[in-house]
Amino acid sequence: MKLPLIYKIILLNIPALVIVAGGVLFAVEYQAGIYFDQLMREYHISPERPHALFVDRLRISLLVSLGLALIVLICVAALVTWRLLRPIHTLMIATERLAAGDYSSQAAIKTGDEIEELGKHFDRMTQRLSELESLRKRVITDAAHELRTPLTNLRGYLEAIREGVLKVNDKTLRILEDETFRMIALVERWLQLAKADASAVSVQAKPVQARELLEKALLLARPGFIRKNFDLEIDLPPATVEIVADPDLIIQVLANILGNVEAHAPNGADVTVTAKKSGQSVNFRIENSGSPIDEAHLPFLFERFYRADSARTRGNGNSAVRLGLGLSIAKEIMAAHHQTISVTSADNKTCFEFSLPVKAP
């Protein structure tokens, strides 16, 4: 049988009260006895009988006082403990509701002490969990939608081919191939994120030209940039500038950022891609013109599944952009390189930046 905390606190106080009362009883009885005996002898009175009466009265008074003190202690301890345990009980109920799946559970504790701070932390946690649950439901819906579209297209084409309605030619095969690649790209993004969750991002760092990485990433982004008629300005470092990084992963970071630019920058936007050596690092900078990102969204852009503008990304062909995975993956890759990635947005310009160490001479 579990003993409630209020009883434990009272039981812990009782021994202290008994020890204090015993000490007082001993001290008073001892000192009062000596003083009383001296007084009786000074006035030549036999001390035995009066002394015994005095001690008896003193003991009775102390025992009564001890009993009253014990009662007062129990009442005060019960009141204090009840006031202490009430917010804890409230927090316990909120925790049980959270464990049952109610992410809207809030403790709302107002005590003005550490327990209130604990309650605030709990409320922030439940709010964050509620947001993550909403994101989880949304991403499941979006993932199902993104997979269903190419699968439906594949099924339609295959049925048409089987029934002889559609002939197999290069155009048909190219369409089927594109739809297959769309599904592969989506699954690959999920796999990359799963590896990041499991701290399984394996960095094979080696010296590599910063110029070469940017050229490869820009080559991948070229079709989309041409389609949106971007005005691209490139400032690449000389071939002698080498960084130490995993080339495949850094190309993935650059491709994800460029894919984000393709998704959100308006047609005809100015896009500037630069990489410049500064001290012992090479600073990569990708900037595009267009409507700035709301300041409220900036702290969350690198969180998975976060999308500042769902409607704007719905029609984009990049599944990672639609599902809010690209920038999250970029952040995880940079973290695996012990580096960070940042974004700023103001004056109709949005800029992504990160740095990587140069090769030691």
Which of residues 83, 102, 121 is at a domain's end? 102
Question: What are the residue ranges of helices labelled H in 48-113?
Answer: 48-99
- Between CA 108 and CA 122 the distance in angstroms is 9
What domain range includes position 173?
Answer: 130-197
In the predicted model, what is the mean pLDDT of residues 274-279?
A: 93
Strand runs labelled E in 200-319: 206-209, 231-235, 242-245, 270-278, 281-289
Instruction: Give residues with Cβ within 8 angstroms of 147, minimum separation 6.
Output: 183, 186
How many Cβ atoms sit within 10 Å of the Cβ of residue 356?
21
Instruction: Note whether 262 and 321 are same-domain residues.
Output: yes
Positions of E strands within the chain: 206-209, 231-235, 242-245, 270-278, 281-289, 341-346, 349-357
CA distance 252 to 337: 13
Q: Which of 322, 320, 339 shows the shortest CA–CA distance to 331?
A: 339
Summarize the confidence of residues 30-58 as an average pLDDT: 64
Q: CA nearest 136: which of 329, 333, 323, 326?
A: 323
In this structure, the answer to whether residues 210 and 331 fall within a common structural domain is: yes
Mean pLDDT of 270-293: 93
Residue predicted with more confidence, 270 or 220: 270
| pLDDT over 70 (residue 196) | no
Q: Report the pLDDT value the prediction gives residue 15, as an integer from 0 to 100.
A: 75
Q: Is residue 316 part of a domain?
A: yes
The answer to whether 255 and 217 have CB atoms below 8 angstroms apart is: yes
Mean pLDDT confidence for 298-309:
72
Domain boundary among 102, 118, 146: 102
Q: What is the pLDDT averaged over residues 143-149?
A: 68
Do residue 191 and residue 273 come from a single domain?
A: no
d(CA 115, CA 110) in angstroms, rounded, equals 8
* Residue 93 placed within a domain: yes
Boundary (domain end) residue, out of 148, 170, 197? 197
The verdict on residue 96 lying in a domain is yes
Number of residues written out for the chain: 361
Domain count, the chain: 3
- Same-domain check for residues 266 and 337: yes
Q: Which residue has the higher pLDDT, 241 or 134?
A: 241
Query: Which pTM value belongs to this model?
Result: 0.54
What pLDDT sits at residue 286? 96
> Tell me, what CATH number does 222's domain have?
3.30.565.10
CATH number at 172 reads 1.10.287.130
Predicted confidence (pLDDT) per residue in 122-145, tens digit: 888 888 888 778 767 776 776 676
Q: What is the mean pLDDT of the chain?
A: 79
Answer whether residue 110 is part of any domain: no
Mean pLDDT (whole number) for 302-318: 54
